[in-house]
Amino acid sequence: MSTFSSETAWLCLAVTAALGGLVLCKLKSPGQVGGKGVCLAALWGGACLLSLSLFWSLILFSLSCFLLYYLSGQELLPVDQKAVLITGGDSGIGHALCKYLDQLGFTVFAGVLDENGSGAEELRRTCSTRFSVLQLDVTDSQQIKDAYSKVVQKVQNRGLWAVVNNAGILGLPADGELIPMIHYKRCMDVNFFGAVEVTKAFLPLLRKSKGRLVNISSMAGGVPLFKMAAYGSSKAALTMFSAVMRQELSKWEVKVSSIQPGGFKTNITGTSEMQIKLEKDILDHLTPDVREEYGQDYILAQKNVFNAVSTYASSDVSPVLQDIQHAISAKSPFTFYTPGSGAYLWLCLVSFSPTGIFDYFNKKFNYLNNGTPRILSMPNWKNKAM
């Protein structure tokens, strides 16, 4: 390698380090941007090293600076008591988000499944006088219409700035063949059709304010995770809906963002009573042949998935809250947010790696594995199947 090339390589390495350091220092919110910035800096640095050309090094350095400016220069709009509707405020991320945005000065409308439940009562007790609780089952068209009327009555000329479609259910995490159709349909009703209907109902207000539509999807909507056929399919539909609406609503200057969190510990897994009912639903809807081939032990072990989800999930939901705040408040919000450890990495892996490589790592790091179906553990089962 020539002296000139060596000097160029060291220059590129220095620039990469500087870019990465600036990103880490400047970007504290939203949560996932720092990691993306470091990946970006490493990418451009590697490209510079490969080019070994001063001209292309300077070009790529300029592009890196521009992208760094784009990532770090996100101006936040003033709150000014902007009104925000959040669905699924009873518990979990929605509950925490209601409190978080209320503390920031937003006028929050919390749509809850039970307006007389403990979650709704706690919100009334702890939040400001700007705060309102709305009875809002996202699968009930009449409740959506009633909520719309109450919001219009309260905001009047101020308008509604943002809708956060957060309401969601996990359904039954089990092998796709074992999940009853009623649970597939229930997941789609809450996670997808509910979000679509709420969006359609409140879009006239968002178009008027040139506001924000934020849909809480999931990493499972882009990464095919074991045991998540029902949940992942519904979130994939919501992610695609967000992408289409982003383009269609751009002419109205309404910005659309999709939040795709990794694993966070919430109440989405339900109570132990709900889990027992889900287990019973599996057994009641299986045909004798499927029950025989999977085996009773394997089927009953599906309930262990709930424990695995809770064990590996993070209890700190602040990265999700910060990203939602950014999607609502930034002058130029991002299209996708991926809060949570490993979420962005897994989405990149499934998007850019060969299928075989992804499947290998997905199986290797699968923490939801809970044994082997009965027939697969029998000696010479392959020969019997032929």
Query: What distance in Å separates the CA atoms of residue 347 and residue 344, rounded to the nearest whole number?
Result: 5
Residue 231 designated active-site? yes
Under 8 Å between Cβ of 317 and 240: no
Under 8 Å between Cβ of 325 and 101: yes
| 108 SS3 class | strand
| Torsion angles phi and psi, residue 4, rounded to 5 | -60, -45
Query: What distance in Å separates the CA atoms of residue 66 and residue 94, rounded to the nearest whole number?
Result: 35
Distance of CA 314 to the CA centre of its chain: 14
88 contacts: CB under 8 Å, gap ≥ 6: 94, 111, 112, 113, 138, 166, 167, 168
Under 8 Å between Cβ of 110 and 98: yes
Query: What distance in Å separates the CA atoms of residue 191 and residue 238, rounded to the nearest whole number?
Result: 7
Distance of CA 255 to the CA centre of its chain: 17
Q: Which helix (H) or strand (E) holds 67?
A: helix 54-72
Q: Which helix (H) or strand (E) holds 112?
A: strand 107-112
Query: What distance in Å separates the CA atoms of residue 21 and residue 138, rounded to the nearest whole number?
Result: 44
- From the list 231, 294, 298, 337, the catalytic residue is 231
Question: Please, what is the Cα angle at 130 between 125 and 132, to 5 degrees?
Answer: 65
* Furthest-apart CA atoms within the chain: distance in Å: 75
Under 8 Å between Cβ of 164 and 242: no
Query: What distance in Å separates the CA atoms of residue 88 and residue 95, rounded to the nearest whole number?
Result: 7
- Which active-site residues does the annotation give? 231
